[in-house]
Amino acid sequence: MSEVRAWFDRYIQAFNQPDFDTMIEYYAPNMLFEGRTGRREGRPAFIDYYRMLKSRVDEKMEVLSFVGTWDRILAEVRVNIRPYEDWPDFPTGPLQAGEHIQSVNLMYYDIVDRQFARVRAAPFSGRKRL
């Protein structure tokens, strides 16, 4: 396993736990996210969003394929969401407590000084209920 992959896997592990202290190490102060769940800018916006998200759903990521350097990473990521509560206005569609939603995304990370400077997401497979 490459050093970049090991570094990235540590982030995925932190995201899944969640371990916010470790997650924040990966976020550049002015980090930008663009994806189906909206656009967020700045490290505080990420932590606020993920704290809120993780209080309402169990969301876990699994890396299916990976290409990475210390400048960029592109990962095929399977996302499993199990809501703790109903969330009718969730950005990618309504969620119901107890259901299991799965999707696969291609996640593109621009990296500067071993932090995510920009993260972009492209859906690969549509979301499905399991």
The sheet with strand 101-112 has its strands ordered as 38-41, 27-35, 115-129, 101-112, 72-83, 57-68
In angstroms, the CA 81 to CA 73 distance is 23
Q: Which residue in the set 95, 105, 116, 119 belongs to the binding site for another protein (CB under 8 A)?
A: 105
Check residue 74 for interaction with another protein (CB under 8 A). yes
* Per-residue contact string for residues 1-30; x = within reach of another protein by CB under 8 A: -x-x--------------------------
Check residue 87 for interaction with another protein (CB under 8 A). no
Q: Which residue in the set 58, 114, 123, 128 belongs to the binding site for another protein (CB under 8 A)?
A: 123
Binding site for another protein (CB under 8 A): 2, 4, 34-35, 65-69, 71-76, 105-106, 108, 120-126
